[in-house]
Structure 1
């Protein structure tokens, strides 16, 4: 049965493959374990492994491009690359500007990280990376939002007292909490977004469906869950 599922998925991928010979994948390269630059100076992480496998299944030649988070959607729209694969949660607001594939991880809980458990999460100063669903949530929560261009800066803001806590994906914060005994999770987890998917230009429906078929084939044969467990980025499907 598994072989039959794989064969059907492969046919679906081939039938919907994009006419483009090379697809440029845009990522941030600054959000481990999702995507980061390793010691050799190469793009690494869950999404690097995932993107390479999706391109292999779709029989696409792919190259990688790094881009700052705050301009990652505008640069997709302007044609600097063909798809975003950068830990981007699917939201209605973003979907008005670009299209998304189906999600390749379930919704990942967000969490607060602070230096003490007495932080006022509703009325305090909360750091978040700019243009993220966490920043939008904090802005609507009644707390004072301070935004930063990179995730590293949000953690630094907590450590230097500029912010009482940071709100980010729990999968990003968990290794930091394990490494630094002064940092701790506070308050309840916050469920946000509709999972993480690839961002595609609205003018490229064939490319979206090509990646949809490849993602589905990885869900069907269990390899996507294996990759999620390897990198510990989310719960599994």
Structure 2
């Protein structure tokens, strides 16, 4: 993920602590709204996708009233810490680096395979390639660590466009996100091996909000126990079930 300024998080601690005492009537669920099938904006202008359905069910099980808020990915963690919303539910993988700034619930997906996509028919040497990825993601960090040339973009759509226009040799993203794109566009194809990164996807909360974290974790555990989470994962074709 993109380096976060820890002093900014510390400065916002007072706001987070106040909210931790009690969220009042409504818990604000922050998402990106631009990463199908996890989250996207539908034709009615509403947040939709796997995480919308999941989040609504988790709020019901936790007996919380929730509302949805959208935020650009590159500032989604700082705006959580600053108190602009109370959770992140946005396809965010649990990593040690992110845990320095925020806390996470138990994971609600297994680590999802990430995959490379290139122009169909191109023989791409990934180790020496120019690879596009969305900024502040585990995929961007992985590309940097593998020694390839990293091109970062604000949105996942821009990272795919970089492959189409020849700016990048390949793009690395969650396979669940890339699969419908490859299926719809004959000029793009998977290349190389899938990679597993991160510790699965969880809800992000402020480090002071332990009560809220535990309520959502209990709801996630109840969905795992009764099979409803696996049914939802299968419906949205997110990845491996629990």
Counterpart residue number, 1:92: 96
Of 229, 232, 235, which aligns to 2:234? Answer: 229
4+ runs deviating over 2 angstroms: 18-21
Counterpart residue number, 1:51: 55
Counterpart residue number, 1:15: none
Please say if 1:41 is aligned against 2:45.
Answer: yes
Q: Distance in 2 between matches of 1:47 and 1:206?
A: 21
Please say if 1:113 is aligned against 2:117.
Answer: yes
Pairing 1:156-175 to 2, within 5 Å after superposition: 156-175=161-180
CA RMSD of aligned residues (A): 0.8
Deviation of 1:19 after TM superposition, in Å, equals 3.8
Counterpart residue number, 2:13: none
Q: Which runs of 5+ in 1 are unaligned?
A: 1-17
Deviation of 1:117 after TM superposition, in Å, equals 4.1
User: Normalised by the size of structure 2, how large is the TM-score?
Assistant: 0.90
Counterpart residue number, 2:133: 128
Pairing 1:11-50 to 2, within 5 Å after superposition: 19-20=22-23, 21-50=25-54
CA contact (8 A) 1:117 1:184 kept: no
Query: Aligned with 1:187: secondary structure?
Result: strand
Counterpart residue number, 1:143: 148
Query: Aligned with 2:131: secondary structure?
Result: strand
Query: Aligned with 1:106: secondary structure?
Result: coil
Q: Which runs of 5+ in 2 are unaligned?
A: 1-20
- Residues 1-34 of structure 1: CA deviation (Å, up to 9, x unaligned): xxxxxxxxxxxxxxxxx84221000000000000
CA contact (8 A) 1:129 1:150 kept: yes
Q: Distance in 1 between matches of 2:122 and 2:69?
A: 39
Pairing 1:185-196 to 2, within 5 Å after superposition: 185-196=190-201
- Residues 212-232 of structure 1: CA deviation (Å, up to 9, x unaligned): 000000000000000001101
Query: Aligned with 2:128: secondary structure?
Result: coil
- Residues 110-133 of structure 1: CA deviation (Å, up to 9, x unaligned): 000000340111011000000000
Pairing 1:194-213 to 2, within 5 Å after superposition: 194-213=199-218
Q: Distance in 2 between matches of 1:19 and 1:67?
A: 23
- Residues 15-72 of structure 1: CA deviation (Å, up to 9, x unaligned): xxx8422100000000000000011111100000000000000110000000000000
Q: Distance in 2 between matches of 1:58 and 1:88?
A: 21
* Aligned length, in residue pairs: 220
User: Normalised by the size of structure 1, how large is the TM-score?
Assistant: 0.92
- Residues 177-207 of structure 1: CA deviation (Å, up to 9, x unaligned): 0000111000000110000000000010000
